[in-house]
Amino acid sequence: MNPIDWIVLGSTLALIVSYGIIKTRHVKTSESFLRGDGNMRWWLIGISIMATQASAITFLSTPGQAYADGMSFVQFYFGLPLAMIILCIFVLPLYYRLKVYTAYEFLENRFDLKTRTLTSILFLIQRGLAAGITIYAPSIILSTILGWNLNLTNVIIGFLVILYTVAGGTIAVSQTQKQQMIVIMTGMFLAFFYCISLLPENTGFGDAMFLAGETGKLNVIDFNFDLSNRYNVWSGLIGGTFLFLSYFGTDQSQVQRYLSGRSLTESRMGLMFNGLFKIPMQFFILLVGVMVFVFFQFNDAPLHYNPANTSLVMESNYAEEFRALEDEYQLVHEEKRALMESYTALRQSEGPGEGTRQLGDQIREKMSLENEYRDQARDLINRANPSLDTKDTDYVFITFVLNYLPVGLIGLLLAVIFSAAMSSTASELNALATTSIVDIYKRFFGGDKTDGHYLSASKYFTILWGLIALAFATFASLFENLIQAVNIIGSLFYGAILGVFVVAFFMKHIKGKHVFPAALIAEALVITIYLLDVYDVIELSFLWLNLIGCVLVMIASQILYYILRK
């Protein structure tokens, strides 16, 4: 990497971290550390919520996803504005009235201590593991592609986050997220426009979009109701609403962001801000991916984007086969490039018609041939080492950044990835420390302790969770399927946790003795349904598990209410 890129990367990160520390020198009480000074403006809350949700993997994986499967992923977010409205109406006023630090604190007030403790422990396990993955996921990609030491990359991200999160708590998290979002959006916009400028002379943005449309990448809206299809309007609107209700309403890493607002109005406006900008932002990131896809149609595209996998297969007995496959792939790629150039020229001169339709068919034929070669390449890698992860779409965007962006912009885009990783991790550590202190330490081991004691304890818990996340990030490399496992754990628990909250808000006759066993029953059923899907007895997208878990808690609570009443 060029020294200028190092300077851009280093100075951006140093500025953000120093800003976070300097801006929060005044934090001297546990209230200030855990909930902020109650001074946050709505736009800062909105930015903070968006920065917490968007991790590094959002900016690495999402463009790669658009490259491979098109833009259908944007539909996943269609339920988000509805979730924001429901939270503003029913949840926020209650949290404000009870002046809670955590979402789980409310559950003791409404039900009992065991329900509060169960949900807070579920959160600590789930979020503690996820924090490790938030650090590990970008580190593994950066270390693979840049040859950096994986553990060192983990430690750098983890150390920087711990530094300012321990110094300033929740205020430091929000203040730095403002800078991080500026860096992220600037970097992504520059990458997008630079990508357009790299297209052939006679191919503009519109031409690129027509090519993307012809190759099936602009599948933004799908109205077909299909339970096994993860991304369509209905799964996004129904499943997505439930997922985002549980994420934004019950996950402390998000609840903490809007509870630091100056007033209920400011917090509501913060959520509205998120509801307004989230879908366009995701659309834009996917559009960057589509643009990178078009770019690679006119430039040399590797057969497989993960260089570590390619080197490994080249050192194995399958090297010859892989090389032959690469040659065939390049041949098809060249033919397709020529077809695309003819398509663009014909479209520009004569407009759409029979000629462009025929060329479109030929392009799609070549594309499916290319995909076959890419599948065969993955198969060879798998045969060379069955334990390797052969999914290479996460490497597409970073390959483009490192090989085609100019000096300086590469450093900025790496700062984007680091910033995104740090902004999510900081919120997570902050929330983990707050839940540990408020729902466990203070609740069970509290007593006559000073505020200074709780402030120090909050800082120690932040360090502890930072170290746990780092340890988990280090071990993650030893178990290939760990990331998948963590994602599954998340989707398995969210529904039941949301169900407990929905019962708390809308089923006033239900008590703790009903909802606690109901949550356990619902959880067991959700796991059973998931296992039926794993063993192909049924086919169900994981998004629906959130809805099913939530509804099951409500039904089981009601049934238990009738049984126990008699």
Report the C-alpha gap between 434 and 213 in whole angstroms: 47
* Residue from 151, 219, 299, 376 binding other proteins (CB under 8 A): 219
Please give the residues from 141 up to 160 whose contact with other proteins meets the rule CB under 8 A: none
- The DSSP line for 95-127 is HHHHT-SSHHHHHHHHS-HHHHHHHHHHHHHHH
404, 460, 505, 542: residue in contact with other proteins (rule CB under 8 A): 505
46: contact with other proteins by CB under 8 A? no
Asked if 83 is part of the footprint of other proteins (rule: CB under 8 A), the reply reads no
User: Does the footprint of other proteins cover residue 97 (CB under 8 A)?
Assistant: yes
Which listed residue (19, 90, 460, 542) binds other proteins by CB under 8 A?
Answer: 90
Return the amino acid letter for 125.
I
Q: How far is the CB of 112 from other proteins (least distance, A)?
A: 11
> Which DSSP symbol is given to 25?
T
- Beta-carbon count within 10 A of 453 CB: 12
Closer to other proteins by CB, 110 or 304: give it: 110
Out of 7, 14, 125, 221, the only residue in the binding site for other proteins (CB under 8 A) is: 221
In angstroms, what is the minimal distance from the CB of 88 to other proteins? 7
Residue tagged 């120090």 (tokens): 456
Question: Which residue, 116 or 304, is less far from other proteins as judged by CB?
Answer: 116
| Rounded Cα gap, residues 129 and 422, in angstroms | 16
Q: Is 269 in the site for other proteins (CB under 8 A)?
A: yes
Cβ-based neighbours of 457, under 8 Å, separated by 6 or more: 437, 441
Q: If binding is defined by CB under 8 A, does position 308 make contact with other proteins?
A: no
Kindly state whether residue 212 participates in binding other proteins, applying the rule CB under 8 A: yes
Cβ density class 414-451: b for 16+ within 10 Å, e for less: bbbbbbbbbbbbbbbbbbbbbbbbbbbbbbeeeeeeee
Which C-beta is closer to other proteins: that of 460 or that of 505? 505
- How many binding residues for other proteins (CB under 8 A)? 37
In angstroms, the Cα distances linking 291 to 203, 218, 312 are: 12, 11, 30
**Minimum CB distance to other proteins smaller for 226 or for 451:** 226
Shortest separation between residue 221's beta carbon and other proteins, angstroms: 5
275 touches other proteins by CB under 8 A: yes
Closest CB to other proteins among residues 102, 126: 102
Decide: is 96 part of the binding site for other proteins (CB under 8 A).
Answer: yes
Identify the helix (H) or strand (E) that includes residue 354. helix 354-384
Cα 176 to Cα 201: distance, rounded to the nearest angstrom: 40
Residue of 20, 36, 63, 81 that binds other proteins (CB under 8 A): 81
All residues at 6 or more sequence positions from 400 whose CB lies less than 8 Å from its CB, including other chains? 191, 195, 292, 295, 296
Q: Give me the residues that bind other proteins (CB under 8 A), please.
A: 74, 78, 81-82, 84-85, 88-90, 93-94, 96-97, 109-110, 209-210, 212-214, 218-221, 263-265, 268-269, 272, 275-276, 279-280, 283, 505, 508
